[in-house]
């Protein structure tokens, strides 16, 4: 859609001189000012911009927090309290950073579900989608390591459980785990390397985000109809001012919620156990990860059984490896989503059955998150097992089957047709 045609006209001597040497202003103009976006984008499409701003917020608050944080088992816990009490605006920076992580994930989940609803991952945007899943994975790694840094009880035991995943790998698991920890258990070397990597990964996210935006600008954005732009003049508007202003509106509303948590409920997303200093001889009665990992945590705990060759005692996959494989699989399956959804129609607006299954999937994901926060026994485990099975069935059975079985509604021939039709029906309500 960007199409290689540039509308940038350097206006003065300096910009003409620079344009012939490093056409950076041309690049910015073509990407963020003249760049054409479909005119029918709705509010759900502002979350890309919100996420970009959240990444910048996290990096700025993180860089200044790192100036006062002490990455050692002896000093970490105290340094965080020192930041809260003695450092100028330390309380604000830390509240923004901790709650910012939650808001970042909240926005990314809406962004992902929006992509699923409107079929944004379909041909020709598979690479755009895969880069997005990669960003999601990097975000998870960054958030996990960040949560270890305050060195509270949840930090320590979260790190123990998550690095324990690697010990599930047959034969070399324990060696890999000890290599990651730098010891036999989570300790000072672990905390130090997590701090180092927690500082590194956000910049890798910036790199992949650049590729994500590049891929977006090659194919152009989707829109709620799922129909590609056919008439640039009629169906698109320039990014600035139209999309910029809309993104600012979305961002403002989002920041109201963000500020509400930062100033009125700053510890709501956290866990009280993390205000107890890490103790390697005592596990909290009930370990839970941050809320944004809960659905995956529920899937991990759902596998309580060994998978054996029937009628023998030979265990193929034990319950521990099975749980880790299911959890990794629940994210990895997103990489192949563009090929599992066989329907040619993008938007759920024209797919009556998919629309219902989409909402069932959203509810299942939320319920899995709720189960992840509950203790691992009795009915909770059985419910998690059923929902885990459904989670995978959604991707592996329902989506391929729907593409073949479902009869989609008539897709409008163009964006202009869809928009104008809506307007004319709205104009004559009497019928």
Partner 1 sequence: MSAKSKSEPTRRDFLYIATGTMGAVGAAAVMWPPIRLMSPDASTLALSSIEVDVSSIEPGQAITVKWRGKPVFIRNRTDKEVEEAGAVAIDELKDKEARNQNLGAGPATAVNRSAGEGKENWIVMIGNCTHLGCIPVGLSGDFGGWFCPCHGSHYDTAGRIRKGPAPENLLIPPFEFISDETLKIG
Could you list the residues that contact partner 1 (CB under 8 A)? Answer: 157, 160-161, 163-165, 167, 178-187, 189, 193, 280-287, 301, 303-304, 306, 313, 318-321, 323, 375-377, 381
Cβ-based nearer residue to partner 1, 16 or 282: 282
CB of 270 to partner 1, least distance (A): 19
CB of 277 to partner 1, least distance (A): 16
**Greatest Cα pair distance in the chain:** 83
CB of 12 to partner 1, least distance (A): 48
Neighbours of 417 (CB within 10 A): 15
CA dist 25 and 3 (Å) reads 18
Cβ-based nearer residue to partner 1, 121 or 165: 165
CA dist 367 and 11 (Å) reads 57
* CB < 8 Å & 24+ apart, contacts of 107-114: 107/47, 107/50, 107/51, 107/54, 107/254, 108/47, 108/51, 108/135, 108/136, 108/139, 109/292, 110/44, 110/47, 111/47, 111/48, 111/51, 112/136, 112/334, 113/362, 114/44, 114/45, 114/47
CB of 63 to partner 1, least distance (A): 24
CB of 307 to partner 1, least distance (A): 11
Cβ-based nearer residue to partner 1, 95 or 301: 301
Which is it for the CA torsion 29, 30, 36, 41, positive or negative? negative
Cβ-based nearer residue to partner 1, 217 or 320: 320
Q: Torsion angle, CA of 132/94/200/141, rounded to 10 degrees?
A: -50
CB of 76 to partner 1, least distance (A): 16
Q: Tell me phi and psi for residue 315, to 5 degrees.
A: -90, 120
CB of 313 to partner 1, least distance (A): 8
Cβ-based nearer residue to partner 1, 39 or 193: 193
Cβ-based nearer residue to partner 1, 200 or 249: 200
Cβ-based nearer residue to partner 1, 307 or 360: 307
CA dist 107 and 111 (Å) reads 6
């Amino acid at each position: 859609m960007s199409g290689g045609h540039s509308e940038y006209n350097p206006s003065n001597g300096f910009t003409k001189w620079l344009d012939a040497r490093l056409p950076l202003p041309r690049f910015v103009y073509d990407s963020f000012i003249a760049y054409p976006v479909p005119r029918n984008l709705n509010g759900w499409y502002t979350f890309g911009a919100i996420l970009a701003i959240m990444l910048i917020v996290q990096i700025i608050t993180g860089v200044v927090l790192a100036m006062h944080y002490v990455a050692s088992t002896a000093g970490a816990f105290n340094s965080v309290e020192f930041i809260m009490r003695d450092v100028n605006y330390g309380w604000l920076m830390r509240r923004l950073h901790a709650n910012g992580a939650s808001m970042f994930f909240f926005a990314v989940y809406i962004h992902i579900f929006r992509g699923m609803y409107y079929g944004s991952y379909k041909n020709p945007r598979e690479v755009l989608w895969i880069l997005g899943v990669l960003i999601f994975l990097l975000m998870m790694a960054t958030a996990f390591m960040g949560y270890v840094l305050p060195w509270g009880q949840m930090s320590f035991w979260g790190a123990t459980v998550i690095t324990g995943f690697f010990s599930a790998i047959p034969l070399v698991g324990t060696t890999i785990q000890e290599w990651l920890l730098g010891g036999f258990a989570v300790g000072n070397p672990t905390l130090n390397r997590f701090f180092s990597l927690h500082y590194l990964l956000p910049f890798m996210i910036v790199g992949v985000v650049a590729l994500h935006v590049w891929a977006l600008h090659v194919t152009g954005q989707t829109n709620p109809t799922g129909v590609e732009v056919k008439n640039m003049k009629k169906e698109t508007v320039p990014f600035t001012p139209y999309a910029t202003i809309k993104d600012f509106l979305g961002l403002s509303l989002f920041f109201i919620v963000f500020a509400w948590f930062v100033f009125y409920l700053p510890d709501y997303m956290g866990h009280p156990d993390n205000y107890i200093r890490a103790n390697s001889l005592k596990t909290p009665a009930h370990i839970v990860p941050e809320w944004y990992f809960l659905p995956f945590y529920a899937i991990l705990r759902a596998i309580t059984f060994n998978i054996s060759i029937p009628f023998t005692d030979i265990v193929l996959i034990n319950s521990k490896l099975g749980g880790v494989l299911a959890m990794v699989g629940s994210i990895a399956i997103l990489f192949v989503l563009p090929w599992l959804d066989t329907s040619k129609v993008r938007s759920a607006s024209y797919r009556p059955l998919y629309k219902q299954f989409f909402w069932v999937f959203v509810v299942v994901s939320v319920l899995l998150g709720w189960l992840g926060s509950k203790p691992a026994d009795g009915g909770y485990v059985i419910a998690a097992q059923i929902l885990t099975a459904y989670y995978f069935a959604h991707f592996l059975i329902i989506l391929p089957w729907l593409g073949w079985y479902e009869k989609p509604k008539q897709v409008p021939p163009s964006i202009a047709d869809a928009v104008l039709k809506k307007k004319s029906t709205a104009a004559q309500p009497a019928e």
